[in-house]
Amino acid sequence: MSARGIGTRLRIAATIALLPVLALTACGSGDTSGTTPAGAQASPAPPDDPVPSVHKVDSVAALLPADVRKAGTLRVGSSIGFPPGAYYPNGQDKPPAGQDIDLADAVAKVLGVKLERQDASFETILPALGSGKYDVGTGNFGVTTERLKTIDFVTYINDGQGFAVKKGNTALKTKVTDLTQLCGLTIGTGAGTTFEATLTAQKGVCAKAGKKPYDVKVYSENGATLTALQQGRIDVIMSTINGLRYQAAQPAAQTTFRGEYHRLDVGFAFKKGSPLTKAFRAAVNELIKDGTYARILKKWGTSASAIETSRINPPEHT
């Protein structure tokens, strides 16, 4: 949902499946490097693949700028980090998989273009859009008021901010509905994310409530965050709702989801004023209309986060 580097790449790619969830979305981080947490194991992509059946829709493709139609390619800065969003199920030398990958590929087919996907750390993608390095960014980028000042978004899912603890945790037994429940605890989250921004902005809530402040530890590697939780160096993870739910469903992760905190629309990211947004919105809506969108979300277990229609730059959820 959701404001989330990653210099080294994944060394132990087969274990990435349970590194997921540490920093999004949308919010989160797309880190693909780092420490392998205890109990992590490979997780193959689901077998259903709706994307090959998607075809170009001329009326939608016509919305692209003429130079893009002529070139036939778009440069995508892609943060590959964790399921169900985007990860490497078979190692970094093999193609990535995930909800974000499928949706981007399906949109490209509707538009009749090919994607030149470049792996990038989550926190570098948005600035790189402004410099012209990428045409579009993906990585579970949440739509926030602050980001809307410099970035245009085309929404494709509704995700957001949530919490998870180590299974058996006794310090936080209920769903988190108020940050004062975190007072006195240590929270792990990802660099450059909406989670870090929220925790920083609200750090005074504990003092106002007469409680000990919470401590925030920021990690640039997803594996390091999960390992810190498993080893007791942090009490709570704040990350994407869908990612944390996915993680909690993996027995080896040994985590428990502690509820949604703040929902955020998630979208493809563009530099401000990009001429690509109308075409992308139309392409997402075409996928919604023909049923491909629902199949992709069902494949990745994220149907509860479906949107009814794609929008350009909707206001942040309050």
Q: Render pLDDT for 135-155 as a digit per residue (tens, 0 to 9).
A: 999 999 999 999 999 999 999
> Which of 42-56, 141-155, 189-203, 248-262 is the least confident region?
42-56
Q: Report pLDDT for 163.
A: 97
Higher pLDDT, 171 or 29: 171
DSSP secondary structure letter of residue 99: H
Report if pTM > 0.85. no
Q: Where are the alpha helices (DSSP H) in the chain?
A: 58-61, 66-71, 99-111, 122-131, 194-201, 205-208, 222-230, 241-248, 277-290, 292-299
pLDDT digits (tens, 9 = 90+) for 2-54: 444 333 333 323 233 333 333 333 354 333 333 334 334 446 778 889 999 99
Q: What pLDDT sits at residue 43?
A: 65
218, 35, 33, 194: which is closest to 120 by C-alpha?
33
Mean pLDDT of all residues in 296-318: 95
* CA proximity to 159, closest of 33, 283, 24: 24
Q: 87: which strand partners?
A: 97
Integer Cα distance of 270 and 133 in angstroms: 11
Q: How confident is the model at residue 220 (pLDDT cuts 50, 70, 90)?
A: confident
